Structure 1
Amino acid sequence: MHALDNNALVAVIGAGAMGAGIAQVAAQAGHPVKLYDNRPGAAAQAIDAIDRQLGRLVEKGKLDAAARSAIVARLQPLEAIEALADARLVIEAIVENLEVKRGLLRQLEALCAADCLLASNTSSLSITSLAAGLHHPERVIGMHFFNPAPLMALVEIVSGLASDPALAQCLYATASAWGKQPVHARSTPGFIVNRVARPFYAESLRLLQEGAADCATLDALMRDAGGFRMGAFELTDLIGHDINYAVTCSVFDAYYGDFRFQPSLIQKELVEAGRLGRKSGRGFYDYAAGAERPSAAELDSAAEIATCVLEGDLGVAQPLVQRLKDAGVAVIERAGSGLLRVGDAVLALSDGRLASQRAGEDGLRNLVLFDLAEDYTQAARIAIACSADTTPAARDQAVALLRRAGLRVSLLADLPGLAVLRSVAMLANEAAEAVLHGVGSAADIDLAMRAGVNYPRGPLAWADAIGVGAVLRTLDNLQRAYGEERYRPSLLLRRRHAEGRRLHD
């Protein structure tokens, strides 16, 4: 089905940040737009704010004055909801309350023409539930934008049980015509992004709770090794802990207490203390004027390293070998099981086991595990963990080798999977579950995570790069270490590994 014609009237209900942003997107795409809010004067104020925002773009040379005037001219504030009866598409962006939204949709069904599409910008409520009780539930589709709507590319097109696939396709094409990157999703708790993203926060919170390292170090590892734009602690401070914690609780409850989505007691305590992040002035970090931002912990070494031994292939970490060679380290290569030896130290990429456990099981002394990096040729930092028998001298030799490669080194407590590996494995696992349950395609889920939350790679593509078997092995080891269902591998991972196939095949 084709996108809505540019002449089609779009109505947006709710003149808050999201509603105003959606109205701006539709107007910039050429549609006449009516904006309504039940607060007197709110719609007009929102349009004035849009005008000022566009004015700043004109001042920066990113928009010409005529285009600004044309966009604003297409925006009309309404004081009565009845004035949007001629809309071809109505997008509601009101309070996230099921009964309030249901009441609005019933009102719109009676008010608007039979061919008017009714879209909800809900981020967490069931489209099936929202449409239930309407005479024509097939016309209700989720159209979930991300904040700020004019800047964020992703739009989740969410179909409930009764949603008409042709209408969903129309909204998909419309979002694409508006310059967005739409994905199809089935109406399940959290849709794609709010479901698949939960481990990104949860694993860092758990590492903090278990004393792996401080917030600044864990955030730096997710940025400098994982390639994420922000670490979990700075990101939740930005989102607001009240919002992030509420979403986690909502998803946890919606999945009947599945421990994959278990909320964090640390975050709960922040909410109870009113430390909500940037908006309250304090969260994991202090945002008061003059407050000093803590630095990530780093190790240094005075050991002189000129040579190391590579035994076998390091798999996804193999580019680290070339980086060492480029730094002038002589690498002696021989057969083996994927280890680097330098002095008394043995280095290996984590596989989800504790360093001490792996040292005992594999008969390795002075074992130093290193973490996953999104790109070993570009990473600025790496995490390590040491087995209990690793001597200070051996640790220094391992640190010196990694420093020769130009990597800053942060030490974590001996916890399974380190920081980046366990987070990526869990993101891939949840994405695989979403594919298995028909929430979205592998391509759409990866696109959603890149365009919606700016991940450096889609989690399924990342798992393919690491190797499905390696991800499965990491999750199995995490589950054995913790004895919890939280880390149970998705059946899709097991199936694809058994078939010798990738997740994107």
Structure 2
Amino acid sequence: MSPQEYKIDTLGIVGSGAMGRGIAQIAALAGLTVRLYDSNPAALDAARAYLSETFGKLAAKGKIKEADAHAAFALVHDAQDLSELADCGAVVEAIVEKLDIKRELFRELEAVVGASCILASNTSSLSITAIAAGCSKPERVAGFHFFNPVPLMRVAEVIDGLRGDPRAGDALMQLARRIGHTPVRAKDMPGFIVNHAGRGMNTEGLRVASEGVASFADIDRIMREQAGFRLGPFELLDLTALDVSHPVMESIYHQFYEEPRFTPSPITGTRLAGGLIGRKAGEGFYRYVDGKQQAPEEAPAPTQLPARVWISRASHAAREQVLKVIAKHDAGIHIDCGITPAPESLIVVTPLGFDATTTAVAEHLDATRVVAVDTLFPLDTVARRTVMTTPATTPAMRDAAHALFSADGVPVTMIRDSTGFVAQRVVATIVNIGCDIAQQGIATPEDIDLAVTLGLGYPRGPLALGDSLGATTILTILRNMQSVLGDPRYRPSPWLTRRAQLGLSLTHDEERR
């Protein structure tokens, strides 16, 4: 059977919630006949009303012609019974995330649809192979995972089950392009590409918060304004809502047999139990008033600059970054050039992956005067800087460091001691998990980066991000964190280690013979 024989002009959709109606919207606008089924007639009526209103709004805003709005709505047909999906070239289920219920639905669909109809699941984390196992023709079962809101999130993951016919996946790739989405191809592994890769930001952000390093808002500010992400981990969790994201975290963790990299946090479990699920509930990690996030204001920075500053020579490049910041404000600060710091000097260190305490001890420094500044992202280009203290750093030295690094108008977030600060450890985890997805052959390097930029809105995909910062730098951060903490979650991926050693791009995929 060639891909062309999987002819998809009529698309069945089972489930008329946010995902089902979103898929129906883009399919109808692309000219496909849509048969929309829901076991709840009221839900089906609500979806029809939503689609009618949405097509009308698009026309009123000039995004589509009025005639096209009417034509699209006319292509969406109610299905009162599954038997009405008999002529569909593909049926996409978008129902509850429960394996037994999906299996039962697919068994029912097999008795209805034609032999060349593709049965596709919009599951976000369940195994396609497991769903297909209940079917007599598992080869035509595939994953077709969209993201909410479907019309705006223009990426679709096509997932091949172990018994799947690749040509069915090829047909879904073609369908995704036809309805205006960018398809990416993945093997059947927990979380596929996007939800798998997303563990880096969310689980590591939660780990930072659970260690008391910084507040939710401060972690978000660092990831936005220092690391350059559109949203921080807690803003993202509020947007997706914990009633969706926490079960996915648990599902992926258990499907990978308790892989330490994906360990969920009790923070989200507790907040889910308390109903603090996110933006749609009016309260999550932030409160929302009329849909607007209410973030706590930052206290003004101290103004008393240190008289003397000693800067570690462990990294020449990092030392030059610090000197460049100090040179901006010509306040008569004396740079202590001694081999060891003078008794009154503020001591600045610039670790990669290590915490301030470990660095102070390794360099035989007075921990009461030590602060560490994160130089992973150049200090003169970022919109925010991060400075951390040791548990012994005095308030006077902490405040002097805060004043020093914010004197040129760039805001500074002061954090408690942390291996890898905040940005270093979160970014390194994102890159490392992306590398493992590539190592496992779940998707090509190109599709990994494409899926993450489109599906998660990251400024770069994990592999391109690692290249931009340097694979050796990311490897150093991970190894140093693991050496301090002994935590297997930070063990480097072989994909990262080998490419760093050979000086290859993280996007380099070896030729298969």
- TM-score normalised by the chain length of structure 1: 0.89
> Which residue does 1:502 correspond to in 2?
505
Deviation at 1:405, TM superposition (A): 4.5
Secondary structure, counterpart of 2:120 in structure 1 = strand
Q: Deviations over 1:322-353 (max 9, x none)?
A: 788788899999x9xxxxxxx94454544110
Matches for 1:318-337 after TM superposition, within 5 Å: none
Deviation at 1:139, TM superposition (A): 0.9
Q: Deviations over 1:283-317 (max 9, x none)?
A: 22234679964124563334389999897977699
Provide the rounded CA distance (Å) in 1 between the counterparts of 2:357 and 2:478. Answer: 18
Matches for 1:108-187 after TM superposition, within 5 Å: 108-187=109-188
Secondary structure, counterpart of 1:111 in structure 2 = coil
- Are 2:419 and 1:416 equivalent residues in the alignment? yes
> Which residue does 1:484 correspond to in 2?
487
> Which residue does 1:51 correspond to in 2?
52
Paired residues of 2:349 and 2:356 also in contact (CA < 8 A): no
Aligned residues: 500
Deviation at 1:403, TM superposition (A): 2.4
Instruction: Give 1:466's aligned amino acid.
Output: L
Instruction: Give 2:118's aligned amino acid.
Output: L
Instruction: Give 1:127's aligned amino acid.
Output: I
1:497–1:107: structure 2 CA closer, same or farther, 3 Å change rule?
same
Instruction: Give 1:137's aligned amino acid.
Output: P
Paired residues of 2:355 and 2:417 also in contact (CA < 8 A): yes
> Which residue does 1:475 correspond to in 2?
478
Paired residues of 2:7 and 2:89 also in contact (CA < 8 A): no
Secondary structure, counterpart of 2:184 in structure 1 = strand
Secondary structure, counterpart of 2:36 in structure 1 = strand
Deviation at 1:177, TM superposition (A): 2.5
Tell me the C-alpha RMSD between the 2 structures. Answer: 3.4
Paired residues of 1:307 and 1:330 also in contact (CA < 8 A): no
Deviation at 1:448, TM superposition (A): 1.2
Provide the rounded CA distance (Å) in 2 between the counterparts of 1:9 and 1:315. Answer: 60
Matches for 1:199-348 after TM superposition, within 5 Å: 199-287=200-288, 293-296=295-298, 299-303=301-305, 344-345=345-346, 347-348=348-349
> Which residue does 1:73 correspond to in 2?
74
Q: Deviations over 1:13-46 (max 9, x none)?
A: 1111100000111111111111111112533431
Give structure 1 stretches of 5+ with no counterpart: 336-342
Instruction: Give 2:435's aligned amino acid.
Output: A
Q: Deviations over 1:426-480 (max 9, x none)?
A: 1111111111111111211111111101111111111111111111111112112
Deviation at 1:318, TM superposition (A): 8.0
Paired residues of 2:93 and 2:120 also in contact (CA < 8 A): yes
Deviation at 1:386, TM superposition (A): 2.6
> Which residue does 2:340 correspond to in 1?
none
1:347–1:5: structure 2 CA closer, same or farther, 3 Å change rule?
farther
- Are 2:18 and 1:17 equivalent residues in the alignment? yes
> Which residue does 1:340 correspond to in 2?
none
Give structure 2 stretches of 5+ with no counterpart: 338-343, 509-513
Paired residues of 1:220 and 1:296 also in contact (CA < 8 A): no
Provide the rounded CA distance (Å) in 1 between the counterparts of 2:115 and 2:325. Answer: 63
1:309–1:218: structure 2 CA closer, same or farther, 3 Å change rule?
closer
Paired residues of 1:350 and 1:421 also in contact (CA < 8 A): no
Provide the rounded CA distance (Å) in 2 between the counterparts of 1:374 and 1:351. Answer: 11
Paired residues of 1:155 and 1:181 also in contact (CA < 8 A): yes
1:147–1:253: structure 2 CA closer, same or farther, 3 Å change rule?
same
Paired residues of 2:8 and 2:88 also in contact (CA < 8 A): no
1:151–1:323: structure 2 CA closer, same or farther, 3 Å change rule?
farther
Secondary structure, counterpart of 2:287 in structure 1 = coil
* Larger displacement relative to structure 2 (98-107 or 284-293): 284-293
Paired residues of 1:373 and 1:382 also in contact (CA < 8 A): no
Provide the rounded CA distance (Å) in 2 between the counterparts of 1:330 and 1:488. Answer: 44
Instruction: Give 2:132's aligned amino acid.
Output: A
- TM-score normalised by the chain length of structure 2: 0.87
* Larger displacement relative to structure 2 (366-375 or 139-148): 366-375
